[in-house]
Amino acid sequence: MSLSARRPWTEDEFFAWLDRQERRHELVDGEPRAMVGATQRHDRIVTNLIVALATRLRGGACRTGTGDTAIRIPGGNIRYPDAAVDCGRFDETARAASEPVLVVEVLSPSTAEFDQTEKLEEYRSVPSLRHILVVDPDRPRVRVHSREADGRWGSVLVAGLEAGIEIEVLGISVTLGEVYEGVEFREGPMLVAR
């Protein structure tokens, strides 16, 4: 049977199959898709964010999740953001967040365009999500997408190491200095007037 004639996998089939895999995968349009590994730069930014969020959320009902916490997309896809915050009931055997309120994607050259378009729209379709952070790994700037009270999404660019990301649904903020701690920035090309 050809792949195109195969029926889409269910969530349970995907998670059962995933347990036997060495590489990370997402469920996209009913089929597993391998995920690319991250650079140490990418990983440092993710770790910094998880530490900052976990420190602020300690003792509360919400908790941070790593890139191993699945996010269910209403259309049937299963995505793995770089980090997440789940405010739902804790179930130690669950593979997915029960009530994700925040997801984080640190951009990579191979997926940056997709992460800022199609994947962003998938995340926006998750009813409980209130904030989506899209992090630039090369410059201190984060695009913060937030669901407004009327349900519409807005976004703001936060830039500069002294700037802070306000995460209203959690009542916390994180500075970009914390997000990019230990990350060196390379000088980009400069325009020169003649």
Q: 38-179 in CATH: which number?
A: 3.90.1570.10
Distances 124 to 43, 64, 119, 158 between C-alpha atoms, Å: 24, 19, 9, 19
d(CA 137, CA 151): 29
Residue pLDDT, tens place only, 87-144: 999 999 999 999 999 999 999 877 778 778 888 999 999 999 999 999 999 999 999 9
Phi, psi of 106 (to 5 degrees): -95, 125
Please state the rounded mean pLDDT for residues 169-173: 95
Domains of the chain, by residue range, sit at: 38-179
Provide the whole-model pTM: 0.84
39 SS3 class: coil
Please state the rounded mean pLDDT for residues 151-175: 96
Query: Quick one: pLDDT at residue 22?
Result: 78
d(CA 138, CA 107): 9
Query: Quick one: pLDDT at residue 5?
Result: 61
Residue 189 has pLDDT above 80, yes or no: no
